[in-house]
Amino acid sequence: MPPAPITPGSPSFSAADSAADSASAAAGGAGLPMGRGLLFGIAAYALWGVLPLFFLLLRPASAIEIVAWRIVLSLIFCALLLTVTRGWPALVAIVRDRRTTLILGGAGALILVNWLVYVYATLTDHVVEAALGYFTNPIVTVLLGVFVLRERLRVLQWVAIGISAVAVLVLAINYGQFPFIALTLAFSFGLYGLVKKQVGGRVDAVSGLTIETAWLSVPAAVALIVLASSGVLTIGSENVLQAVAMLCAGIVTAVPLLFFAAAARRLPLTYLGLTQYIAPLLQFVIGVFVLQEAMPPARWLGFGLVWIALVILTIDMFRAQRTTRSVVRVR
């Protein structure tokens, strides 16, 4: 149910869309909607890829405090954006559609799980495992296409899924436990993407994010009150850099999500999965080379299997695209 596609004249993302259109036209690629979607997807995942460095600035805040501030400040940012773009009438119209509003509430619950687990992974030195989750996400996206959207898998897609299953087994043995962080991130965000794809035709990006964060704002506010009353709220009690970074959490949270929403309504799930490689690659580099997390041989083997699966999945995607184009030309 993706909301009505955002056009260059719509209130949300008009400047970003126009810039993306120009870039797509200059590149001479596929149609403008696909080109814009690809640019939005790349931007979203590049920003998500460097998020671990941002979260480390927020220490010693807990994952609950960081996520609560992300929700509250994102809602404020979205309200300001709606005011500037005169998007309130569109938001009101969407809220009157109970089914769409409830679905967005479900999307909000999924992204809450994803945020909590991801921030926890960063603060507890599990950035590499978080990267594994997002490397696995494109494969999860394919599985969701099969089991939820009733899509048929091709042979190479089955091969990629089989290799990924072996990789999870290898990594589970290496970690000494099931890679819960990685798989929770993969499935929560895969389901979030599927839900956003379902509502993308009827909800613009800003309105959708506003409703999602509005659903979560009450529990987030309660969490902040409880933390404050317990004396463990860190904002304002640490250094200036931490306080300023925390206050920027709304913008840092909202912008890539808005880009993702814009990409999800323009790209098929398989293409959206391709852009997802950017974020985990950046996270992996940060975890291994910046944060110096351990990478024993078994972990390299597990990641190597996942990367092989992704290469197979990518090859299959381009082969399928070429076949589709040939059929269209014949017709």
Per-run averaged pLDDT (10 residues), the chain, 331 residues: 30 35 39 75 91 93 95 93 92 93 94 95 94 87 82 85 88 80 92 82 83 95 95 86 92 85 76 78 93 90 92 82 61 56
- Residue 23: both structure tokens together: 């870039």
Q: Is residue 293 part of a domain?
A: yes
User: How far is 191 from 185, CA to CA, in rounded Å?
Assistant: 10
Residue that is written with structure tokens 């309130």 in the block: 88
Measuring CA to CA, which residue among 39, 3, 4 is closest to residue 272? 39
According to the model, what pLDDT value does residue 82 have?
A: 92
Q: Are 251 and 244 in contact (CB under 8 A)?
A: no
In a domain, 84, yes or no: yes
Residue 76 lies in domain: 54-330
Considering the entire predicted model, what is its pTM? 0.80
Q: Specify if 129 maps to a domain.
A: yes
- Report pLDDT for 204: 80
pLDDT score for 328: 52
- Asked if residue 44 belongs to a domain, the reply is no
pLDDT, position 75: 94
What pLDDT score was predicted for residue 119?
Answer: 96
Q: Using an 8 Å Cβ cutoff, are 156 and 313 in contact?
A: yes
Residue 135 lies in a domain: yes
Residue 309 resides in a domain: yes
* pLDDT computed for residue 25 by the predictor: 37
The CA distance from 257 to 206, in Å, is 9
Angle subtended at Cα 315 by Cα 180 and Cα 175, rounded to the nearest 5 degrees: 20
Per the structure, how many domains does the chain have?
A: 1
288 in a domain, yes or no?
yes
Q: Is residue 151 part of a domain?
A: yes
